[in-house]
């Protein structure tokens, strides 16, 4: 039952299960499986059981309940919660408990969801393998020697391991979709501003977006309905009505829908043949559902990764400058360097001890690109290319309603395989960063297995604020395939 939000809601409504029983089952699953995969950084057992008991009491009394009443949900460890630490998987924020809830947390609490705990992640969301965490790497439930993807690897793994039916992640360059692909679940990056970033610890402010992760498009739609919406305290939040996404998935008839395919993307160096095969087979499924496949061009797609890896580190270097040991976060007790004096010495030692190597690398890249004499050559030029990339998408959506392609170039690779090669690690984002640069929604859905039995996902992208269209197509695909019903260790 812990692999379906809708099944839990039905069981609770019919009286076949109580919220406490569901929550206890989730806590038991974490206790049994997490020592092997390291997906959870904090378990809020007492608070979760208290919420579950309150849901059961109110249900018995016939009182109104929220849309997710009694459903256990795990939260990526960079989303602020007043009753749990928010550490960003970093020594810099070890044991930090925020004084306020993020907007998405407030919305989940209002919906009576059971917040089960926080999930592991790449430090400050910087990584594609969940290996940069101060808590150690998360392991893929399908194969414990493989990475789960990143940076929301813990959020994907906790669902794939059967600990919770759904989770929240964040996506800056593919950090929801790529781990969803590697763990065989469904993950949605909404339109920039569709879900408020208020209370999300910032990595790259113009790219970050919170989104839902679950086994099916149906469950993702239920979560998105709850967390989406305007937040006046967030200047990037969109003040537009929230559709009933769950109603968008009632039909599996795709007649009249045009799905664009970037043929050049399927010929990219480094794209595994099993991924190419899964995309080709997905095209046929959509054709059988009535959709028309058309070829599209995104002329500046070869600049996605270099553009992203200028803009994101620049914004990160600015956002992470606040962690200096003076206001909050780690403060070094190291001896004062006479040459620096007490203040500068404290800054240097605190940042040196608090940040991991990948975070330091990106801070240095961003600081360099923003420095005098290089701002125009790097950051400003990257912003101009970003506008061209958005223009490519605008033109493509004149020809097609959706775009289909790979989520990741390969299935999950071995732990440690790319940890010492940053360039190869960055190329894991080859197919996902475009949606972040353009601010459009995208979803990864399970679409196959490779020869070793590891999951493969395909990605659908849509115009801004067309999450309903994405979920409609994804649910139609899942109505004709069984990949989202496959589970680790089960035939």
CA angle (332 as vertex; 329, 337 as ends), nearest 5: 140
Instruction: Give CA–CA dist 406/292, Å, rounded.
Output: 18
Instruction: Give CA–CA dist 469/463, Å, rounded.
Output: 9
Nearest to 314 by CA among 397, 186, 419, 203: 203
Residue 12, token pair as written in the block: 């609770």
Q: Tell me, yes or no, if 107 is annotated catalytic.
A: no
Instruction: Give CA–CA dist 78/108, Å, rounded.
Output: 16
Instruction: Give CA–CA dist 57/52, Å, rounded.
Output: 9
Q: Tell me, yes or no, if 76 is annotated catalytic.
A: yes
**What is the end-to-end Cα distance of the chain in Å, rounded?**
18
What SS3 state is found at 203?
coil
List beta partners, residue 401: none
Instruction: Give CA–CA dist 361/367, Å, rounded.
Output: 10
Catalytic residue among 4, 167, 175, 444: 175
Task: Name residues whose C-beta falls within 8 Å of residue 458's C-beta, 6 or more positions apart in sequence.
Answer: 278, 279, 282, 404, 405, 406, 407, 444, 445, 447
CB 31 within 8 A of CB 160: no
Catalytic residue among 4, 76, 133, 444: 76
Q: Tell me, yes or no, if 418 is annotated catalytic.
A: no
Catalytic residue among 4, 18, 133, 151: 151
What SS3 state is found at 443?
strand
Instruction: Give CA–CA dist 64/73, Å, rounded.
Output: 20
Q: Which residues are tagged catalytic?
A: 76, 151, 175
């Amino acid at each position: 039952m812990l692999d379906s939000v809708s099944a839990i809601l039905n069981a609770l409504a019919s009286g076949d299960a109580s919220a406490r029983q569901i929550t206890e089952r989730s806590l038991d699953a974490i206790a049994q499986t997490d020592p092997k995969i390291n997906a959870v950084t904090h378990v809020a057992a007492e608070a979760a059981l208290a919420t579950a008991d309150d849901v059961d009491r109110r249900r018995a009394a016939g009182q109104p309940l929220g849309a997710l009443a009694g459903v256990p949900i795990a939260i990526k460890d960079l989303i602020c919660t007043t009753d749990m630490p928010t550490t960003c998987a970093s020594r810099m924020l070890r044991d930090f408990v925020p004084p306020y809830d993020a907007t998405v947390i407030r919305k989940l609490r209002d919906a009576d969801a059971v917040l089960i705990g926080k999930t592991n992640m790449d430090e400050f969301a910087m990584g594609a393998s969940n290996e940069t965490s101060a808590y150690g790497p998360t392991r893929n439930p399908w194969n414990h020697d493989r990475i789960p993807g990143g940076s929301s690897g813990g959020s994907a793994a906790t669902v794939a391991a059967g600990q919770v039916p759904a989770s929240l992640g964040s996506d800056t360059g593919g950090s929801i979709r790529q781990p969803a692909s590697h763990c065989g679940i469904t993950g949605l990056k909404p339109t920039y501003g569709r879900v408020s970033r208020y209370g999300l610890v910032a990595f790259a402010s113009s790219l970050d977006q919170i989104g839902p992760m679950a086994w099916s498009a149906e469950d993702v739609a239920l979560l998105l309905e709850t967390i989406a919406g305007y937040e006046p305290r967030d200047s990037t939040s969109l003040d537009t009505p929230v559709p009933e996404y769950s109603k968008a998935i009632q039909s599996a008839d795709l007649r009249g829908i045009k799905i664009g395919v970037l043929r050049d993307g399927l010929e990219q160096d480094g794209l595994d043949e099993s991924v190419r095969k899964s995309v080709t087979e997905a095209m046929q499924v959509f054709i059988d559902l009535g959709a028309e496949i058309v070829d599209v061009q995104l002329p500046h797609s070869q600049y996605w990764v270099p553009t992203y890896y200028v803009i994101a580190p620049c914004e990160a270097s600015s956002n992470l400058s606040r962690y200096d040991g003076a206001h909050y976060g780690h403060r070094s007790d190291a001896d004062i360097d006479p040459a620096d004096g007490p203040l500068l010495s404290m800054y240097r030692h605190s940042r040196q001890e608090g940040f991991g190597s990948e975070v330091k690398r990106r801070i240095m890249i961003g600081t360099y690109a923003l420095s005098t004499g290089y701002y125009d050559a790097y950051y400003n030029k990257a912003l101009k290319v970003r506008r061209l990339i958005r223009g490519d998408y605008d033109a493509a959506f004149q020809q097609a309603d959706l775009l289909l392609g790979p989520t990741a170039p390969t299935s999950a690779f071995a732990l440690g395989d790319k940890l010492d090669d940053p360039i190869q690690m960055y190329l894991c984002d080859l197919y996902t960063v475009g949606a972040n640069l353009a601010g459009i929604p995208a979803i990864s859905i399970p679409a196959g297995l490779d020869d070793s039995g590891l999951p493969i996902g395909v990605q659908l992208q849509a115009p801004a604020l067309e999450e309903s269209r994405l979920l409609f197509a994804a649910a139609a695909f899942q109505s004709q395939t069984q990949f989202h019903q496959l589970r680790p260790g089960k035939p």
